[in-house]
Amino acid sequence: MTMNEILSVRMIVAGAMALLATSALAAVTVEEAKQLGASLTEFGAEQAANADGSIPAYSGGIDQVAGYDPRTSRHYIDPFRSEKPLYSIDAENMAQYDTLLAPGTKALIKAYTGYRVDVYPSHRSMRYTPTVLQNTVKNATTAKLAGAVKGDTLEGTDKENLPYEGLPFPIPQNGYEVMWNNTFRFSAAVSEFTGKALMIDSAGNPIELTQAKAFYLHPWYDSKGTLRQQTFGSTFGFTSVVTSPPKIAGAGYLGYYLVDTSLGQKAWYYTPGQRRIRPAPDFSYDMLMNGAIFWDELAGFSGRMDRFDFKLVGKKEMLVPYNVFGITNTIPTKAFAGKKFVNPDALRWEKHRMWIVDSIRKPNASHAYARRTFYIDEDCWCITQTEAYDAAGNILRVALINSFPSYATGGINLNSWTNYDFVKGGYYVFNAGQADDGHGMRDYDTAEGLQLALNPQAIVGKSAQ
């Protein structure tokens, strides 16, 4: 983002940010919190439509979709599949939409001949449960940043002196709070998914890195309240077993992201050839995963924030990937994997209000990136796309998150994303499509009744099956 763009955004939000001039680490006042459920939704988004109606008023999100049965359906049905693009943006008309596009989007259009952004009608499809909304309102005046390093952890007035099980900062005052909202984004307690990690190399050849049977966990949102105790109180976790390629089939992963990020992540890796499971505390920061992306790039960002200063730039209307059912719910790779970029027909863009957080690497801190910018939607509090820069200000990577609403349970699904590598060329798609054996996706509001491998010994058992 250029300095002019940053200044423009700051001018747009100057009035709104004036309401947030309280202490950087303090919760908002009771008077400020009265906006929730009035001009703001209970989760902190602007309730009303935008000036020209291109972003509609919030009306509760998606509950049910015709033809989808949560007990038997193997993939989500796109409720907007019959819609046509309102307009498309490419290299010829990009300047006309300059203020609506992130620098990373512009870089993709400029770098790849034929890259296109198809813009569809905007749908505020994110749905919350009443309990999450009630807890979010309580957090507004009680949740605070805590820890020896800014952003390391949180405090609240619920059990264990932590926030209630909802979004901690519906009226955020700084970049760290926005990033914590992304960490605590409302999602299904358990997402079951069998999908592929693909690399399309600089020559346009698709290479399957792995196919895995995975369960993605958001323990704080287990409707029965049991998963949190079984996962070290983690905010996010995953447990998976690789099913292909054959040379690493049976490898298992287990990882948990803790509320106190200064304690590191709890992670283990099972190697079938050695029949041993080992702790893997180095699965963090800029360590490579599958030789493709960094561990802290999962779903846009995961992990500790101590190596960067996170600055809240403001909020603005932008065109971002949204309601993207076409990649995660597609079986044949050829349906979306182009030689240089994801087939534009498989990617849906919409206009939404986005919080922008710009992070600069701290002096003497170690990380491959010098700067990272995050675009977080006001409704789902989820990262929709990111940019990573080197010290000279060049874009190294652009990530587009293939998010869509988990309307079976409420919440958002961020289990699939695409990373474009501007240095090596090529791109990566994680959790693309479904397995060729027909196993797909299913979301659950509780872990009860599911056979989950939640400890290292259980991973060994699953991997051996």
pLDDT value of residue 465 = 62
For 196-254, what is each residue's pLDDT tens digit?
Answer: 889 999 999 999 889 899 999 999 999 999 999 999 999 999 999 999 999 999 999 99
22 pLDDT tier (thresholds 50, 70, 90)? very low
The stretch 359-388 carries a mean pLDDT of: 98
* Statement: residue 352 has pLDDT above 60: yes
Q: Which amino acid is at 21?
A: A
Work out the percent of the chain whose per-residue pLDDT is above 90: 79
pLDDT value of residue 17 = 42
Average pLDDT over the chain, rounded to whole?
Answer: 91
pLDDT value of residue 28 = 93
pLDDT value of residue 282 = 87
pLDDT value of residue 25 = 59
Work out the percent of the chain whose per-residue pLDDT is above 70: 91
Angle at 185 between CA 179 and CA 190, to 5 degrees: 135
Contacts for 382 with CB less than 8 Å, ≥ 6 apart: 182, 185, 299, 300, 376, 401, 403, 412, 414
For 259-293, what is each residue's pLDDT tens digit?
Answer: 999 999 999 999 988 888 999 988 999 999 877 88
For 95-140, what is each residue's pLDDT tens digit?
Answer: 999 999 999 999 999 999 999 999 999 999 999 999 999 999 999 9
Pairing verdict, β 427-432 and 441-444:
unpaired
pLDDT value of residue 439 = 58
